[in-house]
Amino acid sequence: MNRKESGASARISARICSVMLVCVLVSVSGLRGATVTILFDRESPQAAFACKEIQAALKARGHSIAQSDLEQLQGVTEGVRIVLCPASDSGATGQMKSEGGRAPGALKSEGYSIRVTSGAGRSAFWAIGGDTAGVMYGGLELAEVIRTDGFAAIKDVDQNPYMAMRGTKFNCPLDVRTPSYSDVSDAAQNNIIEMWSFDFWTEYIDNLARHRYNYISLWSLHPFPSLVRVPDYPDVALDDVKRSTVQWAEYYPGNGTGFDAPEILNDVETLKKMTIDEKIAFWRRVMRYGRDRNVDFYFVTWNIFVNGTDGKYGITDDIDNPTTID
């Protein structure tokens, strides 16, 4: 092909692309107020969370909303569809390809592809995840774009996480008897009760998921008496949730020592009545909710602190104490 023919071919291709783009924009611009059907796996809590976020964005833009199981995709042939599916679902991805969509990209864990298809009186927006977390993040991406700029701003995109672990460091004030490094203060003592509020954790975890964080690290000197029952040392487990009402000093040691001083532990009040079994059940529920938002929990402890043991079973902070080692 000579230069003249090459130039003509390029101009023709550019015109075709322009016409196709105009058609898509015209089609999408007419979607405001249209009924939108969201298709997803109702058994997946990650997809269900993304669906909820998409619904909120659609309602804010005046759309009517319907939901349907992902397996009903073949039967939904009219109107606007938002499809949340894993890349492993060959039926859904095959349907997307048959409607002119490009194949998903090379997706890693938590990765996703967004695809837009339009034609024959129907439009579809596809969030295709490399796994369940990817489905959720792809759905959240659609929700954000719809909320800020509407359907017209949704474009084909492939995304994989740049960082595998994305999380927060959280000094966790569980109880005055099992403190974190920052608990010798009014702020921490006032927030102890929030650590035992399921509503607090659901709101916090939902916000982490929205911003693509996938773990929480909870830091404590010695959290275990407030969290678990150790079979050989059952009396170490602490019932109830307590805080100190002492008049706090301005400064305390930065190495975490002295947080169990008599004046601190002798002036306490009970914030909540809970058995250790209820505490265990509570944290299992919180962590299960985190898993449903692709958020893992890590408890991080430092050195040899024995807060909450009160010398039981001969436990001390002696590095050579065989009971402490056990």
Render pLDDT for 185-233 as a digit per residue (tens, 0 to 9).
Answer: 999 999 999 999 999 999 999 999 999 999 999 999 999 999 999 999 9
Is the pLDDT confidence value at 176 over 70? yes
**Which pLDDT band, with edges at 50, 70 and 90, does 23 fall under?**
very low
**Helical residues (DSSP H) of 150-296, grouped into ranges:** 186-191, 198-210, 262-265, 276-291
- Which is it for the CA torsion 172, 177, 182, 186, positive or negative? positive
Q: Which helix (H) or strand (E) holds 15?
A: helix 3-29
User: CA-to-CA distance for 314 and 181, rounded, in angstroms?
Assistant: 24
Q: For residue 16, what pLDDT is reported?
A: 45
Q: For residue 48, what pLDDT is reported?
A: 98
Is the pLDDT confidence value at 17 over 50? no
Give me the chain's average pLDDT, please.
91
Q: Which residue has the higher pLDDT, 76 or 202?
A: 202
Comparing 56-65, 68-77, 131-140, 200-209, the range with the smallest average pLDDT is: 68-77
**Which pLDDT band, with edges at 50, 70 and 90, does 28 fall under?**
very low
**Domains of the chain, residue spans:** 31-159, 167-325
Q: For residue 29, what pLDDT is reported?
A: 45
Q: 31-159 has which fold?
A: Chitobiase; domain 2 (3.30.379)
**Which pLDDT band, with edges at 50, 70 and 90, does 26 fall under?**
very low
Report the chain's C-alpha Rg in angstroms. 27
Which residues are registered as beta bridge partners of 217? 169, 298
Is the pLDDT confidence value at 20 over 50? no
Terminal-residue alpha carbon distance, the chain: 80
- Which is it for the CA torsion 164, 166, 171, 175, positive or negative? negative
- pLDDT tens-digit map of 298-322: 999 987 999 999 889 999 999 999 9
The token pair at 221 is 């000197």
User: CA-to-CA distance for 166 and 213, rounded, in angstroms?
Assistant: 5
Strand order in the sheet with 296-300: 167-171, 215-219, 296-300
Written as one letter, the residue type at 178 is: T
pTM above threshold 0.85? yes
- DSSP, collapsed to helix, strand or coil, labels residue 169 as strand
Task: Express as a percent the part of the chain with pLDDT over 90.
Answer: 82
Q: For residue 36, what pLDDT is reported?
A: 96
Q: For residue 25, what pLDDT is reported?
A: 42
- pLDDT tens-digit map of 276-296: 999 999 999 999 999 999 999
- pLDDT tens-digit map of 110-146: 999 999 998 767 899 999 999 999 999 999 999 999 9
User: CA-to-CA distance for 149 and 156, rounded, in angstroms?
Assistant: 15
Q: For residue 77, what pLDDT is reported?
A: 77
